Amino acid sequence: MRNVYVAGAHMTRFAKLPDETVRTLTEAAVGGALADADIAPSEVETTFFGNAISGIITGQEMVRGQSALRNTGVLGGPVVNVENACSSSSSAFNLAWLAVASGQVDVALAVGSEKMTEPTGLKAKAALESAVDLEEVAVLKARLGDNDEGEGDRSFFMDLYAGTARAYLERTGATAVDFAQVSVKNHLHSSLNPHAQFRKTTTVEEVLASRTIVDPLTLLMCSAIGDGGAAVVLVSEEMLRTDRAKVKVLASVLTSGYAQQTTAYDDSAVVRAARKAYEIAGVGPEDLDLVELHDAAAPAELVLYEELGLCAQGDGAKLLASGETTLGGRVPVNTSGGLLGKGHPVGATGCAQITEIVDQMWGRAGARQVPGVRVALAENGGGYIGSDSAAAVVNILSR
């Protein structure tokens, strides 16, 4: 396997964008990434297009990527459509990395684009609920217990996150205030990100007072519906054309959950992906300068601190309280604002995480710039199977 580098990356603004489509979002992201890399569309040898829910939202199936990319100039070469729930474009990135690392191509494009908003406001909920094994929904609901309290039109995924949250509270002694602090931190970071969906800071009191979605989750502890696109250009060393610092992909690992109704901590998809990624990259969690992770609901960030080895099991809330994961801390987490602050157009999230890391490594993150970022990790999960993520991707980059 040969070395692979990020030559360019770009993301659109994440927001509710009624005048945009998957195609226009894709065009903006791809055009920006190719210009950033100084790569012509005709030089792209293969494209992996990540999208999760267009089939339900717009009805576009089968050739989502070809349809979205038709005006970008990259058609003619292979286009592979990648649908892997919220980790769709992280999986696209993994495949683009593999294509270049294997020597099959010198230039590969990873794209994520998603349009979640639509007039009824109901299709996104149905789309998100399809990211579980539909034959086990009754089993999942029985395990979680019937809960009709809170917001009636919530996604079933929030019930799953709430179940995880309650188990975390019981296991660690953390409180809902700790979950609120995650949202406060990430909204602080997103207030400094011009691409973020939410540009205002919030307080613990405001988070706790926002309406209950499902106990113990409140509205401001949950990621919102939004639209957006992001793209990353991956190349062999010979195709690097700028004098910027080289951003190398040290590891890219994709795993899936085992579909067991109980999952041992060491067997979780994220733990296994992180363990393998650290081994391949030759680094450990203590070497990380920055982390972007999948905080679709605030409690997930604390769980992921532990699964990624940023702290000991059970110490996620302590790590957050220490300030080490906030800007200015030892290992800032979700400097983009994460899914809670930056937004979560599901198919675009993975490439957006990479874009944040690249912007940080190239010193162009503006007011949220972390000095001297040399090693960073992106983690993204997708779907739910048994008692675990259906898919998990961990990418480690270095400068």
Concatenate the DSSP letters of all residues of 329-387 into one string: SSS-B-TT-HHHHT---GGGHHHHHHHHHHHHHTT--GGGPPTT--EEEEEEEEEEETT
CB 186 within 8 A of CB 343: no
d(CA 273, CA 90): 13
Concatenate the DSSP letters of all residues of 67-102 into one string: HHHTTTT-BTB-EEEE-BTBTHHHHHHHHHHHHHHT
Distant-in-sequence, close-in-space partners of 195: CB < 8 Å, separation ≥ 6: 11, 12, 13, 14, 336, 342, 352
Amino acid at 274: A
Rg of the chain over CA atoms, in angstroms?
Answer: 19
What ranges in the chain are assigned the alpha helix state H?
Answer: 22-37, 54-57, 64-69, 88-101, 123-129, 137-144, 156-172, 176-190, 204-209, 269-281, 298-307, 316-322, 338-341, 349-361
Report how far apart, in Å, the C-alpha atoms of 318 and of each of 173, 175, 324 are.
11, 11, 10
Q: What does the block give as tokens for 268?
A: 């979780």
Q: For residue 216, say if its preceding peptide bond is cis, omega within 30 degrees of 0.
A: yes
Distant-in-sequence, close-in-space partners of 114: CB < 8 Å, separation ≥ 6: 22, 25, 51, 52, 53, 54, 227, 228, 229, 345, 346, 347, 348
d(CA 192, CA 304): 23
Measured between its terminal Cα atoms, the distance across the chain in Å is 19
Q: What residues are paired with 130 via a beta bridge?
A: none
CB 85 within 8 A of CB 112: no
CB 392 within 8 A of CB 382: yes
Residue corresponding to tokens 């409140």: 218
Which active-site residues does the annotation give? Answer: 86, 344
